[in-house]
């Protein structure tokens, strides 16, 4: 298996623009997580899905952020409009049947908002 795939790996955009980050989880995994990592706040859970349904979005910072999972093999995290303070590395992770609760992380998308 190729592991969790994220695209793009790097994104540079200007303030006010829409940004869409993409994630393909490991096949067969029914949990998907979106995290944000910054120097100031560390690793924060934004939202997670189970069987394509959002379970907990309490970490989503504000209405500018939205996440979808239209099917078991694809998820998006959208920021509209983007702001400089959104600059961070965004990670997607997936997990199978939670007997071991092990999350597998993607390589991340480094977002820079100018």
Partner 1 sequence: AQSVTQLGSHVSVSEGALVLLRCNYSSSVPPYLFWYVQYPNQGLQLLLKYTTGATLVKGINGFEAEFKKSETSFHLTKPSAHMSDAAEYFCAGGGNKLTFGTGTQLKVEL
Structure tokens at 97: 């049947």
SS3 84: helix
Min CB(100)–partner 1 separation in Å: 6
How many angstroms separate the CA atoms of 83 and 114, rounded?
A: 8
d(CA 27, CA 33): 14
The answer to whether 56 contacts partner 1 (rule: CB under 8 A) is yes
49 interacts with partner 1 by CB under 8 A: no
**Among positions 20, 22, 45, 76, the unique one binding partner 1 when judged by CB under 8 A:** 45
Contact residue for partner 1 among 25, 31, 32, 88 (CB under 8 A):
31
Among residues 94, 103, 111, 113, the one that binds partner 1 under rule CB under 8 A: 103
Length of the chain: 114
């Amino acid at each position: 298996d190729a592991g969790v795939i994220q695209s793009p790996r790097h994104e540079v955009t200007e303030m006010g623009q829409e940004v869409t980050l993409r994630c393909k989880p490991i096949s067969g995994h029914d949990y998907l997580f979106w995290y944000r990592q910054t120097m100031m706040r560390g690793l924060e859970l934004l939202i997670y899905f189970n069987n394509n349904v959002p379970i907990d979005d309490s970490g989503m910072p504000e209405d500018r952020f939205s996440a979808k999972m239209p099917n078991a093999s694809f998820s998006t995290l959208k920021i509209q409009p983007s702001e400089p303070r959104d600059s961070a590395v965004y990670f997607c992770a997936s997990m199978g049947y939670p007997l071991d609760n092990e999350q597998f992380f993607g390589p991340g998308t480094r977002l820079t908002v100018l």
